[in-house]
Amino acid sequence: MKDYASKLFVVEEKHTAAAMGSGDLAVLATPALVAMVENTAKESIQNLVDPGQTTVGIEI
């Protein structure tokens, strides 16, 4: 069985569609969700790459 890491994000007002201008509701905005996913992916490989190296995504 694989080990999976997890990360907790607390959705704040600044993460809502209304606050980000991507919608009118106080729900998690898609741009905020994408940023959270990208951040988690970046942090999950930190111990697998050499210092100064990183990865880049090509598709969401």
1 in a structural domain: no
Q: Counting beta carbons within 10 angstroms of the beta carbon of residue 59, is it exposed (0 to 12), middle (13 to 18) or buried (19 or more)? A: exposed
Q: Does residue 39 lie in a domain region?
A: yes
Any domain includes 50: yes
- What is the predicted pLDDT for the residue at 12? 97
Each residue's pLDDT tens digit, 4-44:
777 899 999 999 999 999 999 999 999 999 999 988 888 88
Is 18 a member of any domain? no
Range of the domain at 52: 29-60
* Tally of CB atoms within 10 A around 15: 19
State yes or no: pLDDT of 58 exceeds 90: no
Residue 52: inside a domain, yes or no? yes
pLDDT at 2: 65
Tell me how many domains the chain contains. 1
Distance CA 36, CA 44 (A): 12
Contact by Cβ (8 Å): 28, 17: yes
Residue 53 has pLDDT above 60, yes or no: yes
Query: How far is 53 from 17, CA to CA, in rounded Å?
Result: 33
Please indicate, yes or no, if residue 21 is contained in any of the structural domains: no
